[in-house]
Amino acid sequence: MSDASEKKDAAQSQYAGRGHNLKAIVLDRDGVINELMREGYVMDWADFRFRPGSLDAIARIHKAGLLTLIITNQSCIGRGMTTRENIDSIHQRMMGQIEEHGGKIDKIYMCPHAPDDGCDCRKPEIANFKRAMADFDMGPDDFIYIGDYKTDREAAERTGCGFEMVDERQSLADVVDRYL
């Protein structure tokens, strides 16, 4: 058995033990798909930079027959720094680039609220996870969430799904390599 096959089998076995196969890989946006901005938020397409390997990783998820969903906080809207229409435009362009590379984003769940708004969709709250599960007839054993921040981990724990952290040592492509 190849080293790659062993890694895939080991990664999937933690979920197979729950009696389910993965239906989806759910991603945070900033820091996972695109580079974080040092000076704030991505509020213009000119500032959007895909992280190395993220386009290929999303294409591999799609080609494997899994759903690709995004759950993201975009508090720049609630803080009055930009509009929802502007962020939606960035998302449309992002999805166009992903599709040009053979991938697909099946749905984006976005919290537009400021941190002090008290909503139930801003991670680490889990309303957007519940919406995704209802929309795609999934339970928490049917997907993993890939994020880059402690609130991403906390939201996954509250949801009961698997979690993988992307950081300077591990990219989205590295995580996807273990599952596909």
Task: Enumerate the active-site residues.
Answer: 28, 30
**Contact status, residue 27 vs residue 148, Cβ threshold 8 Å:** no
Q: CA 83 to CA 43: how far, in whole Å?
A: 9
| Three-state SS annotation for 94-128 | HHHHHHHCCCCCCEEEEECCCHHHCCCCCCCCCHH
Find the helix or strand (DSSP H, E) in which 155 lies. Answer: helix 150-159
Q: CA 86 to CA 77: how far, in whole Å?
A: 9
Size of the chain in residues: 180
Task: Return the number of other C-beta atoms located less than 10 Å from residue 52's C-beta.
Answer: 12
Give the closest residue to 30 by CA, choosing from 14, 51, 44, 57.
51
